[in-house]
Amino acid sequence: MSSETVAQENIAVGLRAAAAWRVRAVNMLPDYRLSITCNDGTNGIVDMSALVNSPGAGIYAALKDAQLFQKVSIELGALTWPNGADLDPLWTHEEISKNKTWSVPI
């Protein structure tokens, strides 16, 4: 299944999130993975499988429900989910820039 979420422009203020590290687009991949693109064109895979399957996953444990995981969106350049889970966009950008694939640590 492939769906894409794209960051929306803030219409009220007319500003666009321009920081290079902000996530601009996300596509769902199998096995709790996301394909992302940042504002500067940096792109790669965020692998959340180890985190969501970990006994110590905390708020991320709920994302093991595939239907909830697929509700990922982009808010202020960060990957977010309806249950309040999110990933720091700067950290995400740094890891994707280094390795193209980031296995989010537990």
| CATH fold label, 4-103 | NE0471 N-terminal domain-like (3.30.2020)
Q: What is the pLDDT of residue 11?
A: 43
Tens of pLDDT, residue by residue over 31-58, are: 999 999 999 999 999 999 999 999 999 9
Pairing of strands 43-47, 33-38: antiparallel
Burial 34-68 (b: 16+ CB within 10 A, else e): bebbbbeebbbbbbbeebbeeeebeebbbbbeeee
Q: What is the pLDDT of residue 51?
A: 96
Please state the separation of Cα 32 from the chain's center in Å.
Answer: 11
Q: What is the pLDDT of residue 2?
A: 47
Q: pTM of the prediction?
A: 0.82
